[in-house]
Amino acid sequence: MSLLATALCFIHPITIQGRYFVDTITNEPFYIKGVDYQPGGSSGVVDYKDPLSDARACARDILLFQELGINTIRVYSVNTDLNHDACMSMLAAAGVYLALDVNSPIPNHHLNRYEPWNSYNVEYLENVFKVVEQFSYYNNTLGFFAGNEVINDITSAKNSAVYVKAMVRDIKNYISYNSPRPIPVGYSAADDLNFRISFSSYLQCMDESPSDSVDFYGVNSYQWCGDQTFYTSGYDSLVNDYLSYSRPVFLSEYGCNLITPRQFGEVPTLYSNDMVDVFSGGLVYEFSQEPNSYGLVELSSNGDVKLLEDFLSLKRQFDALPEIDYHHVAQAMRQNAKEIQSIKKFQRFGLQPCDETYEHIDISRGIPKSLADDLVDFGVEVQRGRFISLSEQDFTCAFNILDPKGQPYPISKTITPIIDHMSGVGYDKFNRVRHKSGMYNGDESKDENGVSEWEYSDSDASGSETDSESMGNKDETIFSKASTYLANAFHSIANIFSHS
């Protein structure tokens, strides 16, 4: 019997409502809990392999993703001439999403930050769109990074800002015309206060159309080093910097290694009420040990893997995380939806128009005219990704997994599928939401008419089914009072966003 016969369901695409990532079916907010994944670094992408082309290596590493309890990985570059169906299917079955950079170190596959006018050309755009085209057909593609740390010094800030915005525009236009579903497009910023905040403002503003505004903003931050707190680390300032940001923000890289082994003390804070209103989680840098010494594991040439102390530290932090306070998040999401409603009374798309200038970056030359019109109109030729059926053997790790002392690590060698990636039947994540003290006390607030602020009916959802039916699970006995209450809350919030 296929191992997937006992799996739950297909993986739901993630979309954006205001400043939050949300599940497209349940409307539950989605918080990124993941790692950056690029075994071999920039040299790990060649003609015959990339991080998502070797099914045996993927089975090994996805097994460890499950051991960590993560839901997202970030991959920095891929080769679209290779097949990624097996790895993406395994990730989907394990409930893991992919945040993917569209650039790579290969010539004509990235912007030259100092002379972007030379590298922004049709050949480059075609290579970018091949990545988008191929990975748009996997439901677990969370989003695309249009750039990573392109702006990182005075010269790049002078020359490249408008080209990054052009790339956001071009990718979003390509997705709009050619992809089977909307997929978020964003940017990952360098950990430099001179550029990070002003550039985020520029990327979220609307210049010519909504397509030139990012859907999310990633911050590469290494400021929490060693024994810190929300305040001593400067995370309070980080939150304050993006308090009014209109799009989801998350840590696209984190994990200072000045003090080793890393203890990842920032993890509890990142998923606490101090941050979840503004930050949508984060990605630890990085999975495999490379020359810069940020690795969680060490990969041998024969395929065996040795866990490092950092892996065990991160696992302890993730294992100890309490359930996110969804009641708190629901309140914040509802407030955000109302704010967007108010803004749209004056601004059609709810986006601020761009200013004439931004501190430390030069936008005076304006966004370059798109060179992508024909590519957008006619598409690009590349093998489209698709989910494939998998056997128990596909989910089995063929390599040795060792602890930091070189001894066998006690772990099952088989991935546990939690999602039937081949099914079209929905499911409810709230059957995994544990009741949390204070999450629901039966005392929800009322509006001026005495109606619960979370009250939800079929008519509110524009003809959708009831929450338990639409999520493919009619056995209401699995729901706690808290989870059904919150499911209704998030559906109600989605209704506000949809009518904004």
- Phi, psi (5° rounding) for residue 266? -75, -15
Residue by residue, DSSP assigns 198-241 as: HHHHHHHSBSSSGGGS-SEEEEEE----SS--TTTTTHHHHHHH
Contact predicate 148/164, CB 8 Å: no
Residue 91 lies in a domain: yes
| Secondary structure of residue 127 in the 3-state scheme | helix
Strand arrangement, sheet containing 297-299 = 297-299, 305-307, 401-402
Bridge partners, residue 20, by sequence: 17
E strands present in 292-443: 297-299, 305-307, 401-402
Tokens 């990085």 -> residue: 286
The model's pLDDT over 91-102, given as tens digits with 9 standing for 90+, comes to 999 999 999 999
Residue 434 lies in a domain: no
pLDDT of residue 500: 64
Give the residue ranges of the chain where pLDDT is below 50. 1-9, 424-481
Residue 211 lies in a domain: yes
**Domain count along the chain:** 1
Residue 318 lies in a domain: yes
464: buried, middle or exposed (CB in 10 Å: 19+, 13-18, 0-12)?
middle
pLDDT of residue 496: 80
Domain range enclosing 55: 23-402
Q: In residues, how long is the chain?
A: 500
Residue 323 lies in a domain: yes
Residue 136 lies in a domain: yes
pLDDT of residue 394: 97
Q: Looking at the annotation, which residues are catalytic?
A: 149, 253
Q: Which pTM value belongs to this model? A: 0.88
pLDDT of residue 319: 98
> What's the CATH number where 241 sits?
3.20.20.80
Residue 412 lies in a domain: no
E strands present in 356-434: 401-402
3-state helix, strand, coil in the chain (%, to 5): 35, 15, 50
Residue 2 lies in a domain: no
pLDDT of residue 482: 52
Strands 20-23 and 14-17: antiparallel
